Amino acid sequence: MIDLDLCYLSATRALDLFRARELSPVDLLLEQIKRAEAVEPVVNALAYTFFDEALDAARKAEARYMKTDGRLRKLEGLTLAVKEDTAVKGRPRTFGSLIFKNNIADHTNPSVERLMRSGAIVHALTTCPEFVWPWTCTSNLHGVTRNPWNTEITSGASSGGAAAASASGTTTLATGSDSAGSIRMPAAMCGIAGYKAPYGRNPGSPEVNMDPFFHIGPMTRTSSEAALMQNVMSGLHKRDHSTLAQRLTLPATFPDVSGMKIAWSMDLGVYEVSRGVQENTRAVLAMLRDAGALVEEIETPWAKLAKANVGMWGGHIYGDEFSDAVDNHPDLVCEYTRTFDQENRTITPREFHACMQAIGQTWAEFGPQLARYDAFLCPTVGSTEIAADVHDWVDPITVDGVEHDV
């Protein structure tokens, strides 16, 4: 019998029970291991597991809680599942590709290192699609990751394994990374909290921290847990020149939304949004109004320009990785990798320069809008009915029965 209450126990509550000696990190991990053994054959969120080593670490954490000197770290004894493309020294780092199935990380990502030094126990690495650009979590290496609430639909991606593991109760904490929705989309699909920290807040590995849209961040079941992780991860780091000197500490709880000015858009004027997502969004807006927030729909003319250029940015920044893979290992790559390469191989420096200008123009229009409000709200995904085995850039996406090329 699996104790689901333990599997889904919040990080903050677990820490309270650890400190009170009413729960052991060992017992929590053992329940999550049993949960993984039960759900993983279907959900497929964990690419690699290190349960024996994790149990050893949990026993050491248990011993620390039994001492009376009070020397406990902030995340002492909590389980942490790390997205498989994020480096953990000595562990696999394959980027979801058969090409790198034997690759072992030679360093640990600075943000993950901070979590580990704060007592978090890495017991698993989570699945991701090949080269972490698609938004459904499928690959030739890891197979299909499914949504634990409805295994016919996708968990989202590229941090799909992290979201599915969190929603399955097989980990307490998880990390994701995000350039164009890779934390936010799977968090929305799996009903968890995902936080894409602003550029410069959380340190990253050298190969990605030059991209101002790429961020590593927490994925948890509640916002208070995400804040707990974020406060450990953030801050200036000597290995990442882009990190900000001024450190921002997030509160575990926020005051009510009464009096807040919230702008919103249902579709940014450029996206198809399903009836179900629209209904859910309007329900959230109604709740905010009832709670005293001032809610106002706004026009988003800048979104058309942003949408037209987002693919070009990603294609230019990361396109060489795809091209090298297709040229040198054509028999190993996923079909969506070949399609991405075909669409982006011919991007010119002139086109990329125009893309950079478009980014500046987009912010010049959107920034003043944000300055007038406390928050901007819009749906994260256009539909929650995307099949788990859809291949991005290859298969069409269906919204309310209508197919759309992407």
Would residue 240 count as lying in a domain? no
CATH number at residue 12: 3.90.1300.10
> How much of the chain, in percent, has pLDDT values that exceed 70?
99
Would residue 333 count as lying in a domain? yes
Q: To 10 degrees, what angle do helices 110-117 and 223-233 make? A: 110
Cβ distance 111 to 203 under 8 Å?
A: yes
**How many structural domains compose the chain?**
2
Q: Tell whether 289 and 404 lie within a shared domain.
A: yes
The label of the residue with tokens 């125009």 reads: 354
Would residue 241 count as lying in a domain? no
Q: Tell whether 163 and 291 lie within a shared domain.
A: no
Asked if residue 302 has pLDDT above 90, the reply is yes
Would residue 248 count as lying in a domain? no
Q: Tell whether 208 and 98 lie within a shared domain.
A: yes
Neighbours of 406 (CB within 10 A): 13
Q: What is the pTM of this model?
A: 0.96
* Average pLDDT of span 358-373: 97
Q: Tell whether 58 and 160 lie within a shared domain.
A: yes
Q: Tell whether 168 and 103 lie within a shared domain.
A: yes
Boundary residue ending a domain (198, 233, 268) = 233
Q: Tell whether 219 and 340 lie within a shared domain.
A: no
State the virtual CA torsion across 385, 389, 393, 397 in degrees, nearest 10: -20
> What is the per-residue pLDDT for 320?
87
Query: What pLDDT digit, counting tens, does each position of 222-279 carry?
Result: 999 999 999 999 999 999 999 999 889 999 888 899 999 999 999 999 999 999 999 9
Boundary residue ending a domain (183, 200, 233) = 233
> Which pLDDT band, with edges at 50, 70 and 90, does 49 fall under?
very high
Helix (H) and strand (E) counts in the chain: 12, 15
Q: Tell whether 57 and 180 lie within a shared domain.
A: yes
* Average pLDDT of span 301-307: 95
Distance, CA of 28 to CA of 10 (rounded, Å): 11
The H-or-E segment that residue 329 falls in is: none
Query: What pLDDT digit, counting tens, does each position of 190-229 carry?
Result: 999 999 999 999 999 887 777 889 999 999 999 999 999 9
> Which pLDDT band, with edges at 50, 70 and 90, does 123 fall under?
very high
Q: Tell whether 16 and 157 lie within a shared domain.
A: yes
Query: What pLDDT digit, counting tens, does each position of 330-361 carry?
Result: 999 999 999 999 988 999 999 999 999 999 99
Q: Tell whether 404 and 265 lie within a shared domain.
A: yes
Domain of residue 11: give its range.
4-233
Distance, CA of 196 to CA of 218 (rounded, Å): 8
Query: What pLDDT digit, counting tens, does each position of 127-174 carry?
Result: 999 999 999 999 999 999 999 999 999 999 999 999 999 999 999 999
Would residue 238 count as lying in a domain? no
Question: Is it true that the peptide bond before 258 is cis, omega within 30 degrees of 0?
Answer: no
Q: Tell whether 172 and 29 lie within a shared domain.
A: yes
* Phi/psi at 360 (5° precision): -60, -40
Asked if residue 406 has pLDDT above 70, the reply is no
* Average pLDDT of span 296-320: 91
Cβ distance 286 to 298 under 8 Å?
A: no
> Where is pLDDT greater, at 319 or 203?
203
Asked if residue 71 has pLDDT above 90, the reply is no
Give catalytic residues, as residue numbers.
83, 158, 182
Distance, CA of 163 to CA of 158 (rounded, Å): 10
Boundary residue ending a domain (233, 265, 281) = 233
> What is the per-residue pLDDT for 87?
97
Calculate the average pLDDT of the chain: 95
Q: Tell whether 197 and 282 lie within a shared domain.
A: no
Would residue 301 count as lying in a domain? yes
Would residue 243 count as lying in a domain? no
E strands present in 90-133: 121-126
Query: What pLDDT digit, counting tens, does each position of 378-394 carry?
Result: 999 999 999 999 988 88
Would residue 250 count as lying in a domain? no
Q: Tell whether 168 and 135 lie within a shared domain.
A: yes
